[in-house]
Amino acid sequence: MGKVIFGQLGKLKADKIDEYCKLHAETWPGVLKTITECHLQNYSIFLQGDLVFSYYEYIGDDYDADMAKMADDPITQKWWACTHPCFEKFAIDPQSEFYHDMKQLFYHP
């Protein structure tokens, strides 16, 4: 598959911004391990007001299988139980719940 770059946009609840920031200031080691095992690298999250932008590079061969592996991980499930309530439903796209995948327009290695 090669490297695929993802950008996502989400919106936090105003009263959950601090909580979301604190969670990510001390991201659980098991979550980081799963991110790595699922072939994500250079994962970054940016905050502007209540908008969250995330960026990551996928370097595996089967994105759907790796995302299923991540979703099945018990530590990641507990992490999401803490982070997902911080988000407003962000309905740019009816399929979006927490993040909306963005289209890449430009990349310079």
The ranges assigned to domains in the chain are: 4-102
Supply the mean pLDDT for the chain. 91
- What are 28-68's pLDDT values in tens digits? 999 999 999 999 999 999 999 999 999 999 999 999 999 99
Which helix (H) or strand (E) covers residue 67, if one does? helix 63-72
95: left (phi > 0), else alpha (psi -120 to 50), else beta?
Answer: alpha
C-alpha distances (whole Å) from 35 to each of 61, 84, 107 are 15, 17, 23
Question: Is 4-102 in CATH node 3.10.20.30?
Answer: no
The arithmetic mean of pLDDT across residues 69-91, rounded, is 93
The separation between CA 89 and the C-alpha centre of its own chain, rounded to angstroms, equals 15
Question: Residue 109's pLDDT is what?
Answer: 75
